[in-house]
Amino acid sequence: MSAQIVVPITRVRRAEPGTPSIPLPRYMTPGSAGMDIAAALTDTVVLAPLQRCVIPTGFALALPQDYEAQIRPRSGLALRRGLTILNAPGTIDADYREEVKILLINLGDKPVEIKRGDRVAQLIVAPVARVRWTEVDTLGSTQRHGGFGHTGTAAGTDRDPT
């Protein structure tokens, strides 16, 4: 079993009378890596193709130092509806205390309705390594040749060099 950390969380949007409370992020199966996040909308949002919007979640959290929360797309929404996270993965820093919001974009060819309580993203909490740079005159060599997009290719083609 993986280690668990305790993260304080608070609701920042209360349910209006007659509306259900939005669930806090939660794992949907025992093997889930990410917790599903629900939309804390008061009204349905219709997102036209190529339109983007910010969706409130109704919660804020207090991550421990040296941790981040990553906001990632839900693959089923991307496949079936063309809905994804514009800045994926989004990062929630340990010192951020405001409401978590999701920046969605509709990359599909039809309008998409987003309703109160719809699961719109995933949240993964992960440790962050702190870096201390040491400037040097040269870097050690590796077997890799070429730059961006050239890993395992011959002369920038998609062929294996062997």
CATH code where residue 81 lies: 2.70.40.10
State the Cα–Cα distance between residues 119 and 117, nearest whole angstrom: 6
Establish how many alpha carbons lie within 13 A of residue 47's alpha carbon, considering only the half-sphere containing its beta carbon: 22
Give domain status of residue 152, yes or no: no
Give domain status of residue 40, yes or no: yes
Give domain status of residue 39, yes or no: yes
Give domain status of residue 147, yes or no: no
Question: CB count, 10 Å around CB of 108?
Answer: 19
Q: Which residues contact 54 (CB under 8 A, 6 or more apart)?
A: 101, 102, 103, 104
pLDDT tens digits along 10-34: 998 766 666 678 999 999 999 999 9
pTM above 0.85, yes or no: no
pLDDT bin (cut points 50, 70, 90) of residue 77 is: confident
pLDDT bin (cut points 50, 70, 90) of residue 156 is: low
Give domain status of residue 2, yes or no: no
